[in-house]
Amino acid sequence: MCGRFVSTTTPQDLVSLLGELRWDPAETFAPSWNVAPTDPVPAVLERVDRDTGELLRPLRWGLVPSWAKDPSGGARLINARSETVDTKPAFRKAFTTRRCVIPADGYFEWREVPAAADRKKYKQPYFLSTGGLMLMAGLYEFWRDPTRPEDDPLAWLATATVITTDATDSAGRVHDRMPLTIAPDDLATWLSPAHTDPAELHHLLHSPADDTLRVRAVPTTVNSVRNNGPHLLDTAPDPLGLAD
């Protein structure tokens, strides 16, 4: 799965990498080296108003289907399996009409280190990256809070999920799932709601870096969502020998 990731690319840098993007200057996109479920994440999607083009906006990580009674289950839907994304009720409508990409520098996975005579067992974090920007394939939804009036800015909740697949090569050494990505050349097609054929959409999904990800052990301080900062990506000793 993809349960934490790093997102530090600025809107200005995204423009230089992806072309023209629009965003609300009032919305902040602070860098985060420890993005966790229910955090706001930057997402690129197609505008649905009169203005055409691609929009950068924050979405809460953890998809809440439009038909959900309340948003409490969103934290469990941070990932959507590619094998069932076009058939599972929570995701199939969004897969057809509400797709996005979530820019990331890389993501974290954990492996348990067995107990030894001088220590208890613990979870060792690893950072997996391509060495560049990853455009993680995602879906988004809007959920209406029925307890709030329509003109209340908090009446609508916009949420997102990351599409995953079986991990291979270097990623598979650490975890059995990995996020899928969209190539920059395929971005417009992926975002456009005019494209609805599941086979065509699945064809746009790619494993990052052609199944070859850089893997390195990082400090266990990343295990706590309260910790943040570039120091979380420092190289740490690898007790399991999984790093490149």
Which residues are catalytically annotated?
Answer: 2, 109
Q: What DSSP string describes 149-185?
A: -TT-GGGEEEEEEEEEEE--HHHHTT-SEEE-EE-GG
Contact 56, 29 (CB under 8 A): yes
Would you give the DSSP letter of residue 128? Answer: E
Separation between Cα atoms, residue 233 and residue 218, nearest integer Å: 6
Separation between Cα atoms, residue 49 and residue 224, nearest integer Å: 39
Please state the length of the chain. Answer: 244
Separation between Cα atoms, residue 36 and residue 39, nearest integer Å: 6
